[in-house]
């Protein structure tokens, strides 16, 4: 599902003054807007129904009705998440409470991730990964763990992927990228200074940039050619960035499995060839 509010934020930088006024109203009053007719929204924003319909079409919708359908769905998803909020860790929690909270938080995050993923963006990313000469992965902290998992997966099927634990080396790799490469940038916040620098550098060298960030506007997803979003529901007690790491790993699994499915027969042969068999003791 495409996230309407983010699409509007991304489009806003190219919007006309009238469109900006409409977008600002929708973003500030999304619940109210989801119950409005196009005529009522035009009245509230001092615009015209035709201007609103053109805005919808510019953002990939056939018209106001399709736009409104997705806006209502997005509001329902957000309401559903709020109703299922799991409390943060407490000093008085027993092990049983911790098992429940960690497990169900991860399940909830994966459910939210599924609802947020835009199928068309995934398809486009898989095509770019398939066509590129090499994949260079960027991430630090918990996101580096996700990047290394992606490297292992793609290398297994003979798609060379590169990552370094040292961010200065990551920057050197970004400097050596070209228009034939894909930069896969993983950053939950989308605000990490080092990752912004690497993203800007890869972009300047013509590489296609795919980002995995939380569902909020950020410098990294603004720089990206393709932005994949995970829920912005990490609780305050971020022991190893638990739920965000799970959602990022889930996205990597989706990209990897979709890639394999694109070349199904060939992938089976490669996976069989690269399997490291273990002796039984």
Q: Which CATH number do you get for residue 35?
A: 1.10.10.10
Q: How many structural domains is the chain composed of?
A: 2
- Are 150 and 240 members of one domain? yes
Cβ neighbours, 10 Å, residue 1: 13
pLDDT per residue, tens digit, the chain (281 aa), is 557 777 788 788 889 999 999 999 998 898 889 889 999 999 999 999 999 999 999 988 999 999 998 888 877 766 665 555 556 667 788 888 888 888 878 888 888 888 788 898 999 999 999 999 999 999 999 899 999 999 999 999 889 999 999 999 999 999 999 999 999 999 999 999 999 999 999 999 999 999 999 988 899 999 999 999 998 765 544 444 677 889 999 999 999 999 999 888 888 788 887 887 777 77
- Quick one: 75 and 131 in the same domain? no
> What are the angstrom distances between the C-alpha of 66 and each of 11, 35, 49?
18, 14, 15
User: Residue 13 sits in which domain range?
Assistant: 4-80
Shared domain check, 159 and 29: no
Q: Is residue 96 part of a domain?
A: no
Q: Which two tokens stand for residue 105?
A: 């938080």
pLDDT for res 239? 47
Question: pTM (2 decimals)?
Answer: 0.74
């Amino acid at each position: 599902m495409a996230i309407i509010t983010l699409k509007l934020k991304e489009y806003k930088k190219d919007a006309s003054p009238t469109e900006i006024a409409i977008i600002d109203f929708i973003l500030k009053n999304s619940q109210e807007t989801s119950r409005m007719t196009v005529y009522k929204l035009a009245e509230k924003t001092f615009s015209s129904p035709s201007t609103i319909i053109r805005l919808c079409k510019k953002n990939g919708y056939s018209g106001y009705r399709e736009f409104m359908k997705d806006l209502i769905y997005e509001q329902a998803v957000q309401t559903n998440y709020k109703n299922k909020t799991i409390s943060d860790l407490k000093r008085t929690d027993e092990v049983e409470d911790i098992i429940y909270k960690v497990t169900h938080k991860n399940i909830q995050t994966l459910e939210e991730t599924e609802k947020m993923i835009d199928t068309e963006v995934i398809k486009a990313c898989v095509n770019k990964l398939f066509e590129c000469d090499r994949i260079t992965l960027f991430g630090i902290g918990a996101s580096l763990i996700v990047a290394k998992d992606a490297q292992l997966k793609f290398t297994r099927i003979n798609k060379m992927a590169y990552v370094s634990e040292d961010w200065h080396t990551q920057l050197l790799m970004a400097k050596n990228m070209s228009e034939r490469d894909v930069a896969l940038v993983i950053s939950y916040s989308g605000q990490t200074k080092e990752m912004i620098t690497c993203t800007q550098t890869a972009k300047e060298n013509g590489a296609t940039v795919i980002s995995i960030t939380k569902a909020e506007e950020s410098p990294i997803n603004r720089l990206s050619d393709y932005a994949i979003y995970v829920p912005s529901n990490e609780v305050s007690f971020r022991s190893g960035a638990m739920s965000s790491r799970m959602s990022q790993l889930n996205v990597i699994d989706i990209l990897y499995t979709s890639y394999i499915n694109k070349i199904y027969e060939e992938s089976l042969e490669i996976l069989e060839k690269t399997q490291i068999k273990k002796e039984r003791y």
